[in-house]
Structure 1
């Protein structure tokens, strides 16, 4: 990972060891200085209006965001955890748009838990990250969002790093026998997708914990903290102009030679168009068009599908 977590850890361990209420107190102090009728001011008249009314992004401590996100997961789920943590930390900074951040009703994101009300679709963590990033000025919003999404689909999660877990206050859940759900028990898995269903199912297969067990809640709480951390870290780098991470799988370039998004009409259409940044081979088998089709495409010719 392109992240110096240990360096960041040294800056926050002291705050974490004092009390969890530090960030809350800072936010409360910021909120006390805001008028009760503060307007958010980001507009509601389409993308052009939004682009003209973005809120100022200032650097936040990724570990402070991660700690808040971990705690927030138990209050409203993964989407709420990431979104509330980013917004509340920005509100706590006391900058020119702090009151506007404080006015954002973060509870509107609770619907995203479990892949949108338990539907298992888009994971609430990345849903929240995109929602938060999209209202920020001073950063390449598209690049940050795509970077976070690619991180989620391609990285073994949760971290399981002892210092990180200590900093965010994890774990807080136990096995049926009352044993703490340690990193060794939780394990790691690669989501291979941005879907909640795929992410949780592959983790369950790896860990051997059922998806209704407390271990799943602990795992998702830690993933929520990790995505919140990554989003804040990428935002900080984007603000400095130093964000240099992948936004799409390298293997997609091979598929895109035939399956890119086009403006073709029926008389010129020859291959399945794909309008997506997701890693192709997470769901689809690759085939070598010069050597014949393989795997799921065995015994087919190009004209069978195209």
Structure 2
């Protein structure tokens, strides 16, 4: 974007999002690739319709339901054909730990680092797809919304009732399923 468009992208330092690694300062919160790509989406798609928010929400929903790592980068990575697991969450610690348990490795392993590099590449790729569609006027959300169980929770905890919960992540990662 620096070369094609110029300003304001020429003003962004190359290391601007380094703090996002390992879920922002190593805290395991939001996947750093989602945070960095969300900022870029904001720069490109902020308009009077709040398109940037819809695109960011779609990207996060896609991430939580995707199966990682994809094989898109296998020809340039150190560990091709890794086990693929859906994180069911946009949180770094859940995404990485779910995968490490399934892969039988640990978070400090080169295998996990390779997996996360491929995830970051895939998030950037998916961001470009969404932004290209936005620019050409064909963007429509493509990821699934909240799960049936989360929608059930939002009936009580969402804005129409207690209004004490604003997220749309899977509630079942931390809470028991009240639908049963």
TM over 0.5: yes
The superposition leaves residues 158-196 of structure 1 with CA deviations (integer Å, 9 ceiling, x where unpaired) of 112xxx326xx521x3xxxxxxx221xx21111121111
* TM-score (structure 2 length as normaliser): 0.86
Task: Choose the corresponding residue for 1:258, options 119, 140, 156.
Answer: 156
| Segments ≥4 residues shifted beyond 3 Å | none
Structure 1 pair 271/223, CA: closer, same or farther in 2 (3 Å)? same
Query: Is the contact made by 1:248 and 1:278 (CA closer than 8 Å) also made in structure 2?
Result: no
Partner residue, 2:76: 170
Structure 1 residue 152, shift from structure 2 partner: 1.1
Q: Does 1:243 align with 2:154?
A: no
Q: Does 1:92 align with 2:3?
A: yes
Unaligned stretches of 5+ residues in structure 2: none
Structure 1 residue 216, shift from structure 2 partner: 0.9
Structure 1 residue 125, shift from structure 2 partner: 0.9
Identify which range, 243-252 or 100-109, moves more after superposition: 243-252
Q: Does 1:211 align with 2:107?
A: yes
Structure 1 residue 271, shift from structure 2 partner: 4.5
Distance 1:272 1:244 in 2: 25
Partner residue, 1:109: 17
Q: Does 1:187 align with 2:91?
A: no
The superposition leaves residues 212-255 of structure 1 with CA deviations (integer Å, 9 ceiling, x where unpaired) of 11111110110010000011111112222332313622423322
Task: Choose the corresponding residue for 1:125, options 29, 33, 39.
Answer: 33
* TM-score (structure 1 length as normaliser): 0.53
Query: Is the contact made by 1:248 and 1:279 (CA closer than 8 Å) also made in structure 2?
Result: no
Query: Is the contact made by 1:193 and 1:278 (CA closer than 8 Å) also made in structure 2?
Result: yes
- Counting matched residue pairs gives 175
Larger Rg: 1
Partner residue, 1:279: 170
Partner residue, 1:141: 52
Per the alignment, in what secondary structure is the counterpart of residue 136 of structure 1?
helix
Partner residue, 1:229: 125
RMSD of aligned Cα (Å) = 2.1
Structure 1 pair 283/154, CA: closer, same or farther in 2 (3 Å)? farther
Q: When you count helix as a share of all residues, which structure comes out higher?
A: 1
Unaligned stretches of 5+ residues in structure 1: 1-89, 174-180, 263-269, 289-293, 295-306
